[in-house]
């Protein structure tokens, strides 16, 4: 071959490496027992079966990323957990409408294909899909030299789910005197990392040598799909909210119908060590509540009579507890008292 000829590989794009990655994904993707697997990975489009016996089905779609938590993963060279995060951020939004996740697609853009890094990442994505009981049906891996610095990358996810009109959660079931329950988070989940990284930089903290931060900052987001779908199928949930960017205030406000107010007692929130650490590093109460989940990863709105039934569907670590109730009002949300950080 003439060495003076221009090639795609010389420009920084290695199609052979991309093909090896696609083959790897295809080989490790779960094979469903008793079903002929549709060969989606590597195709032009993805095909999936629709569940049967769903009356008046509605399709729900969500997309999200993991923000600058990617920079922590790069620093610690641990990528499987952000794969779980990527799935969690979309499927936890799907169930807000009552939808069961059907399938998931990922988008990975990277400076240069690093098979070791990408294999670890995709293993996490597949694990997240398994927890959510949905299929990874495809995606896109874009090698983009010149757009990303060496070693840098970004990821996005897209999930589609299905729900019957009867089980759709759209706010109409929420009533006065409904209870608001907090479901514990696994930690930071995937929000507020730009603030955390800013703090770490200003404080000159080496997280590689700080065992507490090293563990907490890379913990994967809790996926609430199984528990919430059980509540929906048993018709003991009226509404729910995924507590992500914007914290309790912004996310609960989004699901409260007009002329109702979610009154929350912040003193009842059972926060965690990582949030106490952040609060003790000169972050105000307002900024904490606005930026982080503060220990509340998900909220449920239920009839008071169903409290015991609801709690039975959750493990001890994620057992829901009451933090407020729905009242008449036009404000949509009212916060009382303060979180006990100490």
Q: Is the pLDDT of residue 294 over 60?
A: yes
Confidence band of 49 (pLDDT split at 50, 70, 90): confident
pLDDT at position 297: 98
For residue range 250-263, what is the model confidence (pLDDT) as tens digits?
999 999 999 999 99
What is the mean predicted confidence (pLDDT) over 294-302?
98
Q: What count of other Cβ atoms lies within 10 Å of the Cβ of residue 110?
A: 21
pLDDT at position 40: 62
**Mean of the per-residue pLDDT values for the chain?**
92
Q: Which two tokens stand for residue 340?
A: 């006990």
Q: Which two tokens stand for residue 116?
A: 């070791």
Of the listed ranges 28-32, 106-110, 279-283, 327-331, the one predicted with least confidence = 28-32
Of the listed ranges 140-154, 169-183, 295-309, the one predicted with least confidence = 140-154
Confidence band of 192 (pLDDT split at 50, 70, 90): very high
Confidence band of 34 (pLDDT split at 50, 70, 90): very low
pLDDT at position 221: 98
pLDDT at position 41: 65
Q: Is the pLDDT of residue 32 over 60?
A: no
Compute the half-sphere exposure of residue 45: CA atoms within 13 Å on the CB side of its CA: 2
For residue range 313-339, what is the model confidence (pLDDT) as tens digits?
999 999 999 999 999 998 999 999 999
Q: Which CATH number applies to 12-31+39-166?
A: 3.30.1330.10
Calpha distance 222→213 (Å, rounded): 18
Angle 208-212-217 from CA coordinates, rounded to 5°: 70
Calpha distance 213→216 (Å, rounded): 5
Domain ranges of the chain: 12-31+39-166, 179-187+222-336
- Checking DSSP bridges between strand 239-242 and strand 100-110, what pairing results, if any? unpaired
For residue range 50-107, what is the model confidence (pLDDT) as tens digits?
888 899 999 999 999 999 999 999 999 999 999 999 999 999 999 999 999 999 999 9
pLDDT at position 259: 95
pLDDT at position 301: 98
pLDDT at position 39: 59
Q: Is the pLDDT of residue 1 over 60?
A: no
Residue 49: Cβ-neighbour burial (10 angstroms; 0-12, 13-18, 19+): exposed
Whether domain 179-187+222-336 has CATH 3.40.1710.10: the reply is no
């Amino acid at each position: 071959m003439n060495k003076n000829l221009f090639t795609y590989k010389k420009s920084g794009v290695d199609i052979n490496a991309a093909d090896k990655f696609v083959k790897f994904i295809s080989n490790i993707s779960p094979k469903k027992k008793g079903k002929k697997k549709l060969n989606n990975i590597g195709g032009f489009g993805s095909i999936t079966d629709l569940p049967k016996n769903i009356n008046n089905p509605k399709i729900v779609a969500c997309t999200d990323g993991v923000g600058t938590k990617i920079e922590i993963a790069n620093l610690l060279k641990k990528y499987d957990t952000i794969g779980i995060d990527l799935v969690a951020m979309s499927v936890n939004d799907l169930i807000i409408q009552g939808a069961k996740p059907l399938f998931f697609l990922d988008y990975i853009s990277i400076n240069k294909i690093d098979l070791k890094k990408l294999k670890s990442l995709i293993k996490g994505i597949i694990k997240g899909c398994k927890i959510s009981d949905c299929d990874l049906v495809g995606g896109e891996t874009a090698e983009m030299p010149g757009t990303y610095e060496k070693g840098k990358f970004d990821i996005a996810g897209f999930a589609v789910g299905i729900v019957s009109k009867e089980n759709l959660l759209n706010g109409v079931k929420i009533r006065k005197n409904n209870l608001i329950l907090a479901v514990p988070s696994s930690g930071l989940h995937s929000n507020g990392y730009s603030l955390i990284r800013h703090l770490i930089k200003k404080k000159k903290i080496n997280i590689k040598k700080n065992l507490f931060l090293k563990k907490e900052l890379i913990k994967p987001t809790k996926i609430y799909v199984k528990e919430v779908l059980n509540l929906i199928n048993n018709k003991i949930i009226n509404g729910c909210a995924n507590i992500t960017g914007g914290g309790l205030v912004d996310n609960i406000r989004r699901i409260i119908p007009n002329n109702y107010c979610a009154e929350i007692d912040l003193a009842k929130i059972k926060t965690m060590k990582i949030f106490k650490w952040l609060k003790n590093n000169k972050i105000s109460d307002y900024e904490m509540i606005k930026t982080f989940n503060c220990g509340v990863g998900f909220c449920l709105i239920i009839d008071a009579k169903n409290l015991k039934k609801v709690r039975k569907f959750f493990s001890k670590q994620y057992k829901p507890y009451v933090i407020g109730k729905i009242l008449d009002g036009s404000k949509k949300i009212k916060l009382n008292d303060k979180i006990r950080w100490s």
